[in-house]
Amino acid sequence: MSTCTVCQKDSKKHSKKLWEMHKQVTICMFCDKSSRAHSEELWEMHKETVEAARRKTRHKKLWTIQVGFGRKCPALLDNDFSYSANMNMAEWLVPIYMSCTECGLFLGSIEEDHVDMLGGMCLKCFMEATDQTRWSVW
């Protein structure tokens, strides 16, 4: 019997995958946070988002891009990009965003961090699904 150093739970209360994730520190391809900051479901959702984007393009290298004052997000080169000495690669990067499972709109950074608890939905769709009518402050 051993206790997890990350969440202070007994090893028997972890799945084998979560136990391994907590023992080793790996960085998420989507949000650049460590595996210790993720639940098992959140890790899978972030991983699937990046893998789905990679399947749609012939360029597989993952880049990092920051649009305006937003946080850094992963990006891939556009399919129409061809390597040439005169082209600026940064102009051809396409950011990878998560989409709401209900309305299809892109999620914000707070929603991306808690997408496992929101069931893949944006806050608006989550409020509608749980019959919440207004924003409440506790």
Domain limits, the chain: 1-39, 56-96, 97-138
pLDDT of residue 87: 78
Q: Which residues of 6-36 are buried (b: 16+ CB within 10 A; e: fewer)?
A: beeeeeeebeeebbebbeeeeebebbeeebe
CA–CA gap between residue 15 and residue 28 (Å, rounded): 19
Report residue 136's pLDDT band, with 50, 70 and 90 as the boundaries: low
The pLDDT tens digits for 69-125 are: 888 999 999 988 887 777 788 889 999 999 999 999 999 999 999 999 999 999 999
Q: Is there a contact between 76 and 57 (Cβ–Cβ < 8 Å)?
A: yes
Pairing of strands 73-77, 93-95: antiparallel
Determine the straight-line distance between the first and last CA of the chain, rounded to whole angstroms: 38
pTM check: above 0.85: no
